[in-house]
Amino acid sequence: MPRPPRRHLVSIDDLTDRDLRWIAHRGAQYAAGECESARPLNDAVVGVLFRKTSTRTRTAFSAGALRLGARLITYGPDDLQENTGETAEDTGDVLSRMLDVLVARTAGSTEELRAYAAQQRMSVVNAMSAAEHPTQALTDLTTMLGHFGRIEGLQVLYTGEGNNTASALALALARFPGTELHLRTPAGYGLDPVYLDRARTLAKESGALVEERHDMADLPEADIVYTTRWQTTGTAKADPGWRRDFEPFRVDASVLAACPGAVFMHDLPAHRGDEVTAEVLDGPTSIAFQQAENKYHSARAVLEWCLGGIPAVQA
C-alpha cells in the first residue's frame, strides 16, 4: 500500500502560516514537558546526513527521532554514492524507498536538497544549507514563544553577519503581525538581497517590519538581542581584514544597556570576545543555552509535522 505524501522543509517558505505556528507551538509544548509520552514516529526510519560539523542540530534530530519512536540511520560526508557520481535525484529516489525522513546538512546550495525532495515518499529536512537554516529559525520561534508567551509584536535586534541563520529568521518573523526585526550588519556582509526582499514582502503583507542598517547607532529598545558567530560554519571571508568591519557589531554590556529588559539569544557555537562578550553570554539576560536545548524540542515538532502532525493552531 503506498504511503501518503510526505512534507518537506527545505525553506521556511515551504511552510504555510498555519504550519509555522503549529511547529512553534508544538516545540513549546515539548519544551514544557507536555507531550513526553508522544511516539508519533513509531516504526519510522529517519536518515541523518551531515557533510558539515554539527553539535546541536545533529544531536537534536537524532535524539528527537529516537525519543519519538523512530529508528535511525546515520551517514557521514563520504558514505553515499554521490561521491562516485550518482545524481542527487537518483540518491533521493533510492533513499525514499527505504526512509521516511532524511535530515541533511549539505555543503552548499539548497538545490541538492530540492533534488532529494523531488519525490513524495520521504520527507526532506534542511538541517542547514549555505543560504538558509530553517530549523534554527523554528527553534528561535519556539524559544520566543516559551519565554514571552507570544511571538506577535516582539522586537528583535540582530547584529553581525547576514548569514543563513539571519535569512531564515527574517523569513519566519516577517510572518507574525507586529514583529520588528532590526538587522545591523557590517557593510558588505548584509542579508542576501533575495531573502531581504522576500522578508520585506512578507512583512508588508502581515503588518511586520524588517529593516537593515550597517551601523550600530540609534539602537531600538528591543525585546531580544540576537547575534551569531562571525565566521559562519563552513565559510571563509575573502577580505583578510574582515574582523575590523565586525568589531563595532559585538554584543557587549553597552548594547544591552541600550535595550533595557532585553534577553540575549545566540544560535551557538559562540566565540566569547568576538561576536559577544562573556559578560553577556554567561550573564543573567542570556537564554542562549535554553535556546540550544530548544533545538531538540523543535526538532521533535518538525519530525512530527513531516510525518503528518495535524496543525491545530489557526493562522
Q: Average pLDDT in the 41-70 region?
A: 96
The torsion angles phi and psi of 172, rounded to 5 degrees, stand at -75, -50
pLDDT in tens, 168-209: 999 999 999 999 999 999 999 999 999 999 999 999 999 999
Task: Report the pLDDT value the prediction gives residue 311, as an integer from 0 to 100.
Answer: 57
Q: What is the pLDDT of residues 8-19, one digit of tens each?
A: 999 999 999 999
Q: How far apart are CA 96 and CA 47, in angstroms?
A: 10
- The CATH fold of domain 134-292: Rossmann fold (3.40.50)
| Reported confidence tier of residue 315, pLDDT bands at 50, 70, 90 | very low
E strand or H helix that includes residue 104: strand 101-105
Count CB-CB contacts under 10 A for residue 294: 28
* Average pLDDT of span 135-143: 98
CATH 3.40.50.1370 residue ranges for the chain: 12-132+293-306, 134-292
Q: What is the DSSP letter of 282?
A: T
What lies within 8 Å, CB to CB, of 127 at 6+ separation is 50, 54, 57, 58, 61, 103, 104, 105, 135
Top-confidence residue, 229 or 237: 229
C-alpha 205/C-alpha 174 separation (Å) is: 9
CA distance 103 to 297: 15
pTM for this model (two decimals)? 0.95
Give pLDDT, residue 5: 66
Alpha-carbon span 254 to 272, nearest angstrom: 16
Q: What is the mean pLDDT of the chain?
A: 94
Which residues does 173 contact at the CB level (< 8 Å), separation at least 6?
Answer: 151, 154, 156, 179, 181, 199, 208, 210
Which residues, 6 or more positions from 18, have their beta carbon under 8 angstroms from its beta carbon?
Answer: 311, 313, 314, 315
Least confident of 61-65, 78-82, 147-151, 277-281: 78-82
The percentage of residues in the chain with a pLDDT greater than 70, rounded to a whole number, is 96
| pLDDT value of residue 291 | 98
- Kind of pairing between the strands at 101-105 and 123-126: parallel
CATH fold label, 12-132+293-306 = Rossmann fold (3.40.50)
The pLDDT value given to residue 4: 60
Consecutive H or E run containing 184:
strand 180-184
- Please report the pLDDT score of residue 113 as a whole number: 96
Q: Is the pLDDT of residue 49 over 70?
A: yes
- Decide if pLDDT at 314 tops 60: no
* Preceding omega of 311 cis (within 30 degrees of 0): no
Distance from C-alpha of 199 to C-alpha of 83, rounded to nearest angstrom: 35
